[in-house]
Chains A and B, each alone.
Chain A
Amino acid sequence: MHAVIQYLISIWVPLVCALVIVGVLPLVTGYIVLMERKVMADMQARLGPMRVGPHGLLQPIADAVKLLIKEDIIPDEADKAIFWIAPLISVTAGMLAMSALAIGPWFQIADLNVGLLFIVGISALGIFGIVLGGWSSNSHYSLLGALRSAAQLVSYETAAGMAVVGALLLAGTLSTREIVTAQGDYGTWFIFAAPVGFFIYVVASIAETNRAPFDLPEAESELVAGYMTEYSGFRWALYFLAEYTNMVVVASIATTLFLGGWLRPFAGTPAFNFLDYFPSALMIFVGAYCLYRAPKQPVKVQQLFMMVLGLAFFGVALILAAPLIGRVNDMLPGLKPGLHGAFWFLLKVGSYIYLFMWLRFTFPRYRFDQLMRLGWQFLIPLSIVNVMGIGLALVLHRQWGWSHWTAFPLTTALTLLVAGWLGWAGEKKDKEHVFVGES
């Protein structure tokens, strides 16, 4: 017993990270939902949730309480055990994929040497939760949603995996930490070396997280709510949690692989060192905006809430500014990469999720055959060509001494040519296509 406690103390950093992720992630997903509703409202010229708390800031908590105390219905004909366990599988798989991700150099549960393979493998387990949930509900809508979801995930998994391989070719390692270090050594993020790979990953990750314009498994105009039609209350909330956790996971993978992980922009260029002040400046700006809005709140409690929130942002700004003071940096040299790394990583993840929302509110939903065609006839061949192109560029650079500036643009142009040809061929075929009922 004593030895076990000793051991647990010796691994306290990963344990604290684990507790933080399990404790904070549900809250974070709640606020991502709020952010999504606010962004949607903004793009549709509305205000969005405004009632619960100032500017609707407490809405996620109210929603969580409502869902927790809602009546819990399991349909008569459902397979009870599987119905019970399916959402748990989804949530656990989504969360477990976070374990090998490095949110800044400090915050990581385990730096696995097979990190990325582990993340990709574990996050794909979430599909079991969806398929089992849809099957066990014993409802037609659920079953169709689950089948569609499985087919869609499976189709885009390959393209996403190939896009990941393209970035791995540049990094030469599977450990998330070393991938970020490799981008620091290259002096550029991999998005600039493999833009086509990034594009493939963005499209495939939207499809993998079942989000619009690829949200066919839960297309409400066709399938009510897809695989979660029969789920209500907290079980439904678990599926929701799993979906948004998966969004965070794919955003983190994209950030690690293509967007430089926790590195700030121009990390190796001293001329851009003023960007170190950006985190504090941003926090001060947000805090000041909160204080500016505070007197305009209708209720006294809300005014107080906004003031406290503004002061909290100022506090965060102070914490982020602390490592910039020379003496503090000398005492704790790890503080700056740890804090600022987490800031930049989360900023990039947030931007990626914002991109998801933007796409969701911009594009109309695909039809299922269009979706499958995009996956199998465009993205998969393109991703194979992308891997070949990056390999070719690396050989040109290493064997024949071409510079990066000529090798990568050349192969990217070649890949884009192939993409154009694939798109043109698909378009041509689409025109020739005659639907049943049309003459």
Chain B
Amino acid sequence: MPTQYIPIFIFAALAAAFPAVTLVIFRLIRPTPVAVGAKLKPYECGVEAEGDTRGRYSVRFYIVAILFVIFDVETTFLFPWAVLFSTREEGFRLEPVFALASMFVFLGILIIGYIWLFRKGALEWV
């Protein structure tokens, strides 16, 4: 049923156009920026900005990103399972005990991985 998505595309165009058009149109009313000097510098509590921001930052952010990918993919796998577990469409519903057992195995492996991460200290921030 891809026709359902046509109103969504129109809505997406409207939602993207609304802020962009407002931003452009009100440029005519807005005072032209006459900002010079320190006004155009990045804010750092009144002192000169120290160093470049395009540097390196804490590795923990990367660890969180990697862990997120793992756990989010697991969640995505659970979505179709959850729907098929109790769908009302005839003939598609999974057999309850089998479905639950297979998901317990799946989540069990996830939990073992989680415990390993926990013991490694990957979930600690400091």
- List A residues at the B interface (Cβ < 8 Å): 11, 14-15, 17-19, 21-22, 26, 68-78, 87-88, 91-92, 95-96, 99-100, 109-113, 117, 137-144, 147, 150-151, 154-155, 157-158, 161-162, 165-166, 168-174, 182, 224, 229-230, 233-235, 238, 241, 368-369, 372-373, 376-377, 380-381, 384, 387-388, 391-392, 394-395, 398-399, 435
Q: A174 near B15 (CB under 8 angstroms)?
A: no
Distance (whole angstroms) from the CB of A262 to the closest CB of chain B: 20
The proximity string for B residues 12-43 relative to A, scoring 1 for CB distances below 8 Å and 0 otherwise, is: 10111011101100110111010100011111
Asked whether A162 lies within 8 Å of B78 as measured between CB atoms, the reply is yes
Instruction: Note all chain A residues with C-beta closer than 8 A to B125.
Output: 368-369, 372-373
Within 8 A of A (CB), among B20-78: 20, 22-23, 26-27, 29-31, 33, 35, 39-45, 49-50, 53-54, 57, 60-61, 64-65, 67-68, 71-72, 75-76, 78
Pairwise interchain contact B43-A111, C-beta atoms closer than 8 A: no
- Contact indicator A140/B16 (Cβ below 8 Å): no
In whole Å, how far is A10's beta carbon from the nearest beta carbon of chain B?
10
Closest 7 CB pairs of A and B: A172-B86, A139-B42, A14-B7, A369-B125, A161-B75, A95-B15, A18-B11
| In contact, B43 and A230 (Cβ under 8 angstroms) | yes
A73 and B39: CB pair below 8 A? yes
Task: Closest A residue to B42 by CB, please name it.
Answer: A139
Q: Contacts A139-B49, A158-B75 given; indicate if A21 touches B11 (C-beta within 8 A).
A: yes
A68 touches B79 (CB 8 A): no
15 A–B pairs (Cβ distance < 8 Å), ordered by A? A26-B18, A68-B30, A73-B40, A95-B18, A111-B4, A154-B68, A158-B71, A161-B78, A166-B82, A168-B79, A172-B85, A174-B83, A224-B45, A384-B114, A395-B97
CB distance from A161 to the nearest CB of B (A): 4
| Given A161-B72, A388-B107: A99 and B11 interface contact (C-beta under 8 Å) | yes
Q: A109-B8, A234-B23, A394-B96 are in contact. Are A147 and B57 (CB under 8 A)?
A: yes
Across the interface, which residues of A come within 8 angstroms of B107, CB to CB? 384, 387-388
**Nearest Cβ distance between residue A39 and chain B, in whole angstroms?**
27
Contacts of B4 in A (CB 8 A): 110-112
User: At the interface, yes or no: B116 with Cβ under 8 Å from chain A?
Assistant: no
A18-B14, A140-B49 in contact; A155/B68 too (CB < 8 A)? Answer: yes
What DSSP secondary structure best describes chain A's contact surface? helix
Q: Which residue of B lies closest to A87 (CB)?
A: B19
Q: B residues bordering A, Cβ < 8 Å?
A: 1, 4-8, 10-12, 14-16, 18-20, 22-23, 26-27, 29-31, 33, 35, 39-45, 49-50, 53-54, 57, 60-61, 64-65, 67-68, 71-72, 75-76, 78-79, 82-83, 85-88, 93, 96-97, 99-100, 103-104, 107, 110-111, 114, 118, 123-126
Q: A173-B88, A373-B125 are in contact. Are A70 and B30 (CB under 8 A)?
A: yes
Q: Are B23 and A71 in contact (CB under 8 A)?
A: no
B88 A172 Cβ-Cβ under 8 A:
yes
Query: Of B40, B44, B61, B88, which is within 8 A of A151 by CB?
Result: B61
In whole angstroms, how far apart are the Cα atoms of A68 and B35 in the complex?
18
Verify A372–B64 contact, CB threshold 8 A.
yes
* Bound form: Cα–Cα A171–B87 in Å: 7
Q: What distance in Å separates the Cβ of A280 from its nearest Cβ neighbour in chain B?
A: 32
Given known contacts A68-B22, A174-B79, is B42 in contact with A138 (CB within 8 Å)? yes
When the two chains form the complex, which single residue of A138, A234, A235 contacts B54, counting CB atoms closer than 8 Å? Answer: A138
Shortest Cβ distance from B72 into chain A, in angstroms? 6
In the assembled complex, the Cα of A17 lies from the Cα of B8 at a distance in Å of 11
CA distance A139 to B104 in the complex (A): 47
Q: Which residues of B contact A78 (CB under 8 A)?
A: 42
Of chain B, the residue at the smallest CB distance from A435 is B126
* Bound Cα distance from A73 to B32, whole angstroms: 9
Q: Which of A74, A172, A368, A388 contacts B104 (CB 8 A)?
A: A388
Q: Are B27 and A22 in contact (CB under 8 A)?
A: no
| Cα of A26 to Cα of B18 in the assembled complex, Å | 10
How distant is B47 from chain A, measured CB to nearest CB, in Å?
Answer: 11
Q: Nearest-CB distance from A77 to chain B (Å)?
A: 6
Which residue of B27, B33, B76, B85 contacts A169 across the interface (Cβ within 8 Å)?
A: B85
Chain B residues with CB under 8 Å of A229's CB are: 42-43
Taking a contact as CB atoms closer than 8 A, the residue among B33, B45, B60, B79 that contacts A71 in the complex is: B33
A395 and B100 contact, CB distance less than 8 A:
yes
| Pair B35/A395 contact, Cβ less than 8 Å | no
| A170 to B19 Cα, complex, angstroms | 39
In the bound complex, what is the Cα–Cα distance between A368 and B41 (angstroms)?
Answer: 28
Flag if B85 contacts A394 (CB, 8 Å): yes
- CB proximity of A88 to chain B, nearest CB, Å: 5
Indicate if the CB atoms of A398 and B96 lie closer than 8 Å. Answer: yes
